[in-house]
């Protein structure tokens, strides 16, 4: 079956050229000039891949990606980002937001085609087990007011089989934790409705949550908050931007019973598991 690709860019000349090139390579192509139209087109055509610019009218690429990920029929469609913006600033941000690949314009067309082919490859059904992280039956609550980070982490963790709950403020986070009793909590420090330390204290005061692993993820200064977070009961500490592989390793260790303290530089010290 011919794969469908949705191109989203406000550069009409680029869209026209890419449409011809992709059709010549056997793909069925749709295009949109802005974020709002992209979401409407995706709902109608259910593409197999979305290629998305960051600088868009009607909501930039990050906002458009977040909106796409919030719609269940579209949540798992792979997204590749292409942009003329600075790669040193946007590449890591785009990948953390859930993009499959990042390309800065102008790009090598052969590498771009290879990335498209890779993004469209069927995902192995047991990819999470092969990577040593099996989340089936495990529930993770993420409490953070960074909407892009929430959606990016949700997509990655769901791909490993985790059930993921999201909260953008401390009050909702504590409510969801008490109601759903997650197996692990990812917690920001700077939150509306109470900071991360207050939230951690409220979580620990509820007996069923007293020993649930909590991993801190924050943009706050590590030299100020790293030791305080660990002394307050966090199982690991990460400063944004997050290294996803290190975070996944910390989640695996915490859920496997080997409790660790992770510094901002990624070094770890095993701790005795909670009884």
pLDDT of 264 over the 70 cut: no
Q: Please answer whether residues 139 and 183 qualify as being in contact, where contact means their C-beta atoms are separated by less than 8 angstroms.
A: yes
Q: What is the mean pLDDT of residues 140-145?
A: 94
Same fold yes or no, 4-119 and 127-271: yes
Long-range CB contacts for residues 12-17, cutoff 8 Å, separation at least 24: 14/105
pLDDT band at 46 (very low <50, low <70, confident <90, very high): very high
CA 39 from centroid of its chain's CA atoms = 19
Lowest pLDDT segment from 85-89, 126-130, 162-166: 126-130
pLDDT of residue 42: 92
The closest alpha carbon to 188, from 177, 200, 176, belongs to 200
Q: Please answer whether residues 91 and 18 qualify as being in contact, where contact means their C-beta atoms are separated by less than 8 angstroms.
A: no
For 90-124, the pLDDT digits (tens) are 888 888 777 888 998 888 888 999 999 988 987 65
Range among 22-26, 94-98, 131-135 rated most confident: 22-26
Q: What is the mean pLDDT of residues 162-173?
A: 91
Angstrom distance (rounded) from CA 226 to CA 241: 15
Q: Domain limits of the chain?
A: 4-119, 127-271
pLDDT of residue 72: 66
Task: Report DSSP state, residue 243.
Answer: -
pLDDT of residue 257: 63
Q: 4-119 in CATH: which number?
A: 3.40.50.2300
Matching residue, tokens 């055509």: 45
- What single string gives the DSSP state of each residue in 30-47? EEESSHHHHHHHHHHH--
For 195-210, the pLDDT digits (tens) are 999 999 999 999 999 9
Q: Please answer whether residues 44 and 72 qualify as being in contact, where contact means their C-beta atoms are separated by less than 8 angstroms.
A: no
pLDDT of 74 over the 70 cut: yes
Q: 127-271 in CATH: which number?
A: 3.40.50.2300
């Amino acid at each position: 079956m011919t794969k469908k690709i949705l191109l989203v860019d406000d550069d009409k000349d680029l869209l026209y050229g890419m449409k011809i090139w992709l059709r010549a390579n056997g793909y069925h192509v749709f295009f949109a000039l802005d974020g709002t139209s992209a979401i409407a087109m995706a709902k109608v055509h259910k593409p197999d891949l979305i290629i998305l610019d960051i600088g868009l009218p009607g909501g930039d690429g990050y906002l458009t990606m977040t909106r796409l990920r919030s719609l269940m029929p579209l949540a798992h469609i792979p997204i590749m980002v292409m942009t003329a913006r600075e790669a040193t600033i946007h590449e890591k941000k785009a990948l953390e937001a859930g993009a499959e690949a990042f390309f800065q314009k102008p790009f090598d067309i052969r590498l771009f085609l290879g990335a498209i082919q890779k993004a469209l490859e069927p995902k192995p059904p047991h990819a999470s087990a092969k990577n040593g992280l099996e989340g089936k039956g495990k529930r993770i609550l993420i409490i953070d007011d960074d909407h892009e980070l929430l959606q990016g982490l949700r997509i990655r963790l769901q791909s490993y089989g985790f059930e993921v709950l999201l909260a953008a403020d401390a009050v909702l986070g504590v409510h969801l934790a008490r109601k759903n009793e997650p197996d692990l909590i990812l917690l920001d420090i700077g939150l509306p409705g109470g900071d991360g330390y207050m939230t951690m204290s409220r979580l620990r005061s509820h007996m069923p949550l007293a020993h649930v692993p909590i991993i801190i993820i924050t943009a706050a200064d590590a030299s100020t908050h790293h030791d305080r977070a660990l002394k307050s009961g966090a199982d690991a500490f990460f400063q944004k931007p997050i290294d996803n592989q290190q975070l996944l390793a910390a989640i695996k260790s915490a859920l496997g019973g080997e409790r660790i303290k992770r510094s901002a530089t990624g070094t770890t010290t095993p701790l005795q598991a909670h009884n």
